[in-house]
Amino acid sequence: MILPDFYHTKLPDNKASPGSHCQARSVPENQHLALELSGWHGGWVVIPLQACIMFGQSKSKDKEGWLRGFVTPVESEQMTEIEQQNDPRQTDRPSDGPAPLIRQLETRIMNGELASGTRLPPERDLMHIYGVSRTVVREAIAGLAGRGLLETRPRFRPIVRKPDYDTALNSLGGMIQHLLNETGGIKNLYDSRIFFESALVRHAAAHARREDIDELRDALERNRAAIDDSDEFYLTDVAFHGVLYRAPRNPVYPALHKAYVGWLSSHWKEMKRGPEINRLNFAGHKAVFDAIVSRDPDAAEQALQRHLQVAWEYVRSTFPAP
């Protein structure tokens, strides 16, 4: 780092002979300079960068006394630690791997410096900026994608995704799919859906607003109209349940509904379908709707559980024979 001339101004000690800056290093994250002084202090100090600039511009007769108020002495070991934490060139140490780069990029995403929806800088630029290898950059990208902070596609630069509830739950998708392959995994997930939706219909029966009832009625009518078209019926089935997740006005719930649909969709699409089965499922939806309109939480919960238990029997048919 090349320092302006005023950084080399001698700083007289009150008692000792004049000293000077022997060495200076930048600590960019904190906008400080780490200075090794002789005579004046005899070790490392950290001074805010702005204070150094003001020192150089000041015409005060007691510049040295003024600057002392900003000085924070540190031991050499502490200086090494500070420098390693803040200097991007330190991120490629073998013992750390991609973790420091992940932290720095995550910070830039969270504070908006890397805006959601924009593409991540090219790998070559990241290597130059942070002084790391291509391997470390790619491992960091994979780590950030696993956290839902990047959207990756082959042959395209990753897209920045500032986390929301959807991305948070989507980041669990791979792990959930592994769990679904375990014995009882799908049933456990399905039971959690029944448990959660039981609470949702009780809430709707007690607290649904007029616009919620109207939206649920419209969704039910679209579901009825699609009975003879199984693909469309599936979409309207998802939409009907989606209204229940939106009614409490909690942004976590619609994200959870979207996650359930994604996690279980392969079994939904493989199960036996047709107009007769669709009519049965529509009847279950109508029973839930009628109980909500009647403001009867117990009846709404019972109707919901009957409906999903019947649906489960069809889901089971997609399992391979033992």
Considering the domain architecture, whether residues 300 and 275 belong to the same structural domain is answered as: yes
- Structural domain includes residue 321: no
What does pTM read for this prediction?
0.53
Give yes or no: residues 80 and 96 share one domain: no
Residues 103 and 209 in one domain: no
120 and 23 both lie in a single domain: no
Instruction: State how far Cα 190 lies from the chain centre.
Output: 25
DSSP assignment of 187-217 equals: HHHHHHHHHHHHHHHHHHHHH--HHHHHHHH
List of residues 6+ apart from 239 with CB closer than 8 A:
219, 222, 223
Residue 214: give its domain's CATH number: 1.20.120.530
- Single-letter amino acid code for the residue at 83: E
pLDDT at residue 28 in the model = 45
Would you write out the chain's pLDDT as a tens digit for each of its 322 residues? 333 333 333 333 333 333 333 344 444 444 455 555 544 444 556 666 566 656 556 666 665 565 555 556 655 555 455 554 545 444 444 346 899 999 999 989 888 889 988 999 999 999 988 888 899 999 999 999 877 788 898 889 999 987 766 666 665 655 566 666 677 778 888 899 999 999 999 999 999 999 999 999 999 999 999 999 999 999 999 999 999 999 999 988 988 898 888 877 777 767 778 999 999 999 999 999 999 999 999 999 999 999 999 988 887 776 655 4
Among all chains, which residue has been given the structure tokens 């209204």?
243
- Overall domain count for the chain: 3
74 and 100 inside one domain:
no
322 part of a folded domain? no
Residue 41 confidence (pLDDT): 46
* pLDDT of amino acid 184: 76
Q: Which residues lie closer than 8 Å to 2 by C-beta, 6 or more apart? A: none
38 and 120 both lie in a single domain:
no
Q: What is the DSSP letter of 90?
A: G
Residue burial 77-107, b: 16+ Cβ < 10 Å; e: rest: eebeebbeebbbebbbeeeebbebbbebbbe
Do 156 and 141 lie in a common domain? yes
∠ CA 210-216-219, rounded to 5°: 145
Cα dihedral sign, 244-247-252-258: positive
DSSP strands (E only) in the chain: 21-27, 32-37, 44-48, 72-74, 150-153, 156-160
The answer to whether residues 198 and 99 belong to one domain is no
How many CB atoms neighbour CB 65 within 10 A?
10
**d(C-alpha 284, C-alpha 296), whole Å:** 16
* Helices and strands (H and E) in the chain: how many: 14, 6
pLDDT given for residue 29 in this prediction: 42
Domain extent at residue 135: 89-163
- Clarify whether residues 282 and 148 are in a common domain: no
Q: Residue 120 carries which side chain, given as an amino acid letter? A: L
- Which pLDDT belongs to residue 215? 97
150 and 46 share a domain? no
Is 127 inside a domain boundary?
A: yes
